Amino acid sequence: MAGILFGTDGIRGQFGQYPVVPGFFSRLARATEEFFAQYLGKDRLKVAIGRDTRESGEILVQALIAGFSDRVTALQCGVLPTPAVAYITRKLGCDCGFSVTASHNPYHDNGVKIFNGEGEKLPIDLELGIENLVQILAMDVGAAAAEVINHVSAAEEEFCASFDNVGFTFGGRVVLDVANGAGTATSPPILRKICRDLVVIGDKPDGKNINVECGSESIATLCQSVKDHRAAVGIAHDGDADRLVMVDETGVPVNGDQVLGVIAKYLFNENRLSNNLLVVTEQSNSGLDSSLSKLGIGVVRCGVGDRNVYYSMLKHGASLGGEESGHLILREFSNTGDAISAAVLMLKIMAETGAPLSLLKDDISLLPKKLHNIKVSQKIPLSEIDGFDKLLNFLKTSEPNYGRVFVRYSGTENKLRVLVEARTEATVDKILTCVCEFLERRLTYTSP
């Protein structure tokens, strides 16, 4: 069962409001230190700490450092993508890693993602162990006692160097949008090694403009830039560069499930798709399953969140998994969502096949689908919303083009996410309107 501090992807909230406050982050650091010391049976620990470009990031990094005792050596890595923090943690033999970020959220939010020594996001039982220690540890944080090593330049160089031998060159023009975020210092030099012509946008972070009208959550600028520059492809990250969104040569966004499908087909043909399986979440389009099943590729579904995807991949022995939102996990390269590794592989596929992205994506046929978010003041269990199950059963039996309805609360925001999939756009719109109106009435009625 989930805890009260950790959501689907670490701890996240508005800076200045509990738990995203310096005092709590210091307690979290000490609790994590104590937990890993006991869990690993070690007297000394080494940790890596990176952050995105939010103005509150350095404050929270220093709060983490202040919470560690003198048995900790902390590698301070500065602004660094979340997948790079995971990479450094594993490569340098750290016992755990911290990425201070709120990912795709607005700048006034922040949070933290924690990795173990293998660069894996912590399973729920370890998060619960840390939560328990946060609650019971008596700690008076004074002057920082940890040994702190400045690893900023080295971390950037080490992560970029991991892409030195990709073995291909991409000849077309590429537009890269780094969301004024953590990928600003690493993704452009990585792609310049590969691309003959690279245009970079969203690369002027000021502490407040992360994800603002740029990046994976706001791709209108990228779409227009691809058309203006007559580029072969557009690539967008989110604020911590663990999410990839692509735009084809016509300036049209490519669905994340289609990107997953293209990669799955390529790895399958290269005999590199372990167990011929792709792991996705419940939110992925059912058309992905049917498109890949024709080739003999199976699709396994799990709960939302790239942490859930990763541990499902381990369970089923899969090498590829991801979410429609753009988290892609390529276990050949990383144990977490990694936007730049996925982007490099997609460029390689395009270079080797000679096919434009618009053609590659069309091999993955998707059903009409829409997602709507409902803001909520509290997350009332869906089972307690009177009449909801009856409504879904009625729609399933009365609508001949019904596909599926998937409803869940966001793990990082106060929102209820309603996803509807059907065989026609008209049916999607009809069912989505019906379900959302019902839920909005019920939630308004039951909320305080």
Is 53 a residue whose pLDDT tops 70?
Answer: yes
Inter-helix orientation angle 339-353/256-269, to 10°: 60
C-alpha to C-alpha distance for 131 and 125, rounded to whole angstroms:
10
Q: What are the pLDDT digits (tens) for 135-159?
A: 887 666 555 689 999 999 999 999 9
What per-residue confidence (pLDDT) applies to 141? Answer: 56
Query: Which of the residue ranges 42-51, 62-71, 346-355, 377-386 would you say has the lowest mean pLDDT?
Result: 377-386
Write down the pTM of the prediction: 0.90
> Which domains does the chain show, CATH number per domain?
11-158 (3.40.120.10), 171-253 (3.40.120.10), 255-361 (3.40.120.10), 369-446 (3.30.310.50)
Q: What are the pLDDT digits (tens) for 412-437?
A: 678 999 999 999 999 999 999 999 99
Tokens of 111: 């949070």
| Over residues 201-226, mean pLDDT | 97
Contact assessment for residue 181 and residue 107, using Cβ atoms and an 8 Å cutoff: no
Is 3 a residue whose pLDDT tops 60?
Answer: yes
Candidates 424, 428, 373, 368; CA nearest to 395 is: 428
Residue 103 falls in the annotated catalytic set: yes
Three-class DSSP labels, the chain: CCCCCCECCEEEEECCCCCCCHHHHHHHHHHHHHHHHHHHCCCCEEEEEEECCCCCHHHHHHHHHHHCCCCEEEEEEEECCHHHHHHHHHHCCCCEEEEECCCCCCCCEEEEEEEECCCCECCHHHHHHHHHHHHHCCCCCCCCCCEEEECHHHHHHHHHHCCCCCCCCEEEEEEEECCCCHHHHCHHHHHHCCEEEEEEECCCCCCCCCCCCCCCCCCHHHHHHHHHCCCCEEEEECCCCCCEEEECCCCCEECHHHHHHHHHHHHHHCCCCHHHEEEEECCCCHHHHHHHHCCCCEEEEECCCHHHHHHHHHHHCCCEEECCCCCEEECCCCCCCCHHHHHHHHHHHHHHHCCCHHHHHCCCCCCCEEEEEEECCCCCCHHHCCCHHHHHHHHHHHCCCEEEEEEEECCCCCEEEEEEEECCHHHHHHHHHHHHHHHHHHHHHHCC
Max Cα-Cα span within the chain: 67
Confidence of residue 122 (pLDDT cuts 50, 70, 90): very high
Burial 234-273 (b: 16+ CB within 10 A, else e): bbbbbbbbbbbbbbbbebebbbbbbbbbbbbbbbbeeeeb
Q: How far apart are the first and last CA of the chain?
A: 26
| Over residues 166-182, mean pLDDT | 97
Residue 355 makes CB contacts below 8 A (sequence gap 6+) with: none
Is 61 a residue whose pLDDT tops 90?
Answer: yes
Query: Which of the residue ranges 137-141, 223-227, 285-289, 349-353 would you say has the lowest mean pLDDT?
Result: 137-141
Q: How many CB atoms lie within 10 A of CB 37?
A: 17
Please work out, in degrees rounded to the nearest 5, the angle formed at the alpha carbon of residue 228 by the alpha carbons of 81 and 221.
45
Tokens of 182: 């953590």
What per-residue confidence (pLDDT) applies to 448? Answer: 42
The one catalytic residue in 26, 103, 312, 325 is: 103
**Cα–Cα separations (whole angstroms), residue 60 to 28, 42, 72, 74, 206:** 11, 26, 17, 14, 17
Is 447 a residue whose pLDDT tops 50?
Answer: no
C-alpha to C-alpha distance for 210 and 138, rounded to whole angstroms:
36
| Percentage of the chain lying above the pLDDT 70 cut | 96
What per-residue confidence (pLDDT) applies to 414? Answer: 85
Query: Which of the residue ranges 134-143, 268-277, 361-370, 413-422 would you say has the lowest mean pLDDT?
Result: 134-143
Q: How many CB atoms lie within 10 A of CB 401?
A: 15
